[in-house]
Amino acid sequence: MGNREKLLDGALRCLLEKGYAATTARDIASAAGVSLAAINYHFRTTEALLNEALQRAIEQWADEMERALRDAAGVDGAAERFEAVWASVIASVTANRPLWTTQFEVVTQLGRQPAPSPAWSEPQAQAQAGLAALFHGIDPEAEPERAQVIGGFYHALLTGVVVQHLTVPDRAMSGRDLAVALRFVASRLVEV
């Protein structure tokens, strides 16, 4: 494993243990077993290294979710499949709590910036397209607008569910709760 990979692994360990704001270049270099100069050589800035490490971790989580969604695809019935998928998502959020708390810490940091961060625009678009494909098989290349809207809906739903499970898990929505609520909301949208 080269220094670049060691730095990414070390940065991720630090992010999950210390959080985004508390992780220093010295922490990462120490965790990776490389010199401080290696950060500048491979990433130019500590922030760029932390962002890439976090984005990789999110991609790994997305791969995990894709496997869970494929497993849930065998469940009979749309509502039952929806519940099974969300049960997997919620279990994964609980199992990956440090990853999610770090993501929300980054969101808070981004919210304090005077302008939106272009570095996070593409990963968000990819996440939304991926969610649309995973939940409904929507091809973002063939139907970009639909993928953006449906993926955005699932992204918003996921964010809210994660917040609930991180802050007050005993009052957080379950997969069944989400299915019941969505059925009710959908029925109200078709009323004249």
pLDDT, residue 191, reads 64
pLDDT, residue 5, reads 93
Q: Is residue 137 part of a domain?
A: yes
Per DSSP, the residues of 127-183 read HHHHHHHHHH---TTT-HHHHHHHHHHHHHHHHHHHHHHHH-GGGSPPHHHHHHHHH
> What band does 84 get if pLDDT is binned at 50, 70 and 90?
confident
Residues 6 or more apart whose CB falls under 8 angstroms from that of 170 comprise none
Report how many domains make up the chain: 1
pLDDT digits (tens, 9 = 90+) for 112-161: 778 777 777 787 888 889 888 877 889 999 999 999 999 999 999 999 99
Q: Is residue 65 part of a domain?
A: yes
User: Domain containing 68: what range?
Assistant: 55-189
Quickly tell me which residue has 């991720």 as its tokens: 12
pLDDT digits (tens, 9 = 90+) for 43-67: 999 989 998 998 888 888 878 877 7
pLDDT, residue 115, reads 78
Is 164 a residue whose pLDDT tops 80?
Answer: yes
Q: Is residue 132 part of a domain?
A: yes
Q: Is residue 117 part of a domain?
A: yes
Task: CATH number of the domain at 170, please.
Answer: 1.10.357
Mean pLDDT of the chain: 87
Is 192 a residue whose pLDDT tops 70?
Answer: no
Q: Is residue 70 part of a domain?
A: yes
Is 31 a residue whose pLDDT tops 90?
Answer: yes
- Top mean-pLDDT range of 31-45, 80-94, 105-119: 31-45
Note whether 150 and 58 are within 8 A (CB): no
pLDDT, residue 73, reads 67
Q: Is residue 179 part of a domain?
A: yes
- Top mean-pLDDT range of 42-46, 77-81, 102-106, 128-132: 42-46
Quickly tell me which residue has 């299915």 as its tokens: 179
Is 111 a residue whose pLDDT tops 90?
Answer: no
Average pLDDT over residues 88-107: 87
pTM attached to this predicted model: 0.78
Q: Is residue 88 part of a domain?
A: yes
Q: Is residue 16 part of a domain?
A: no
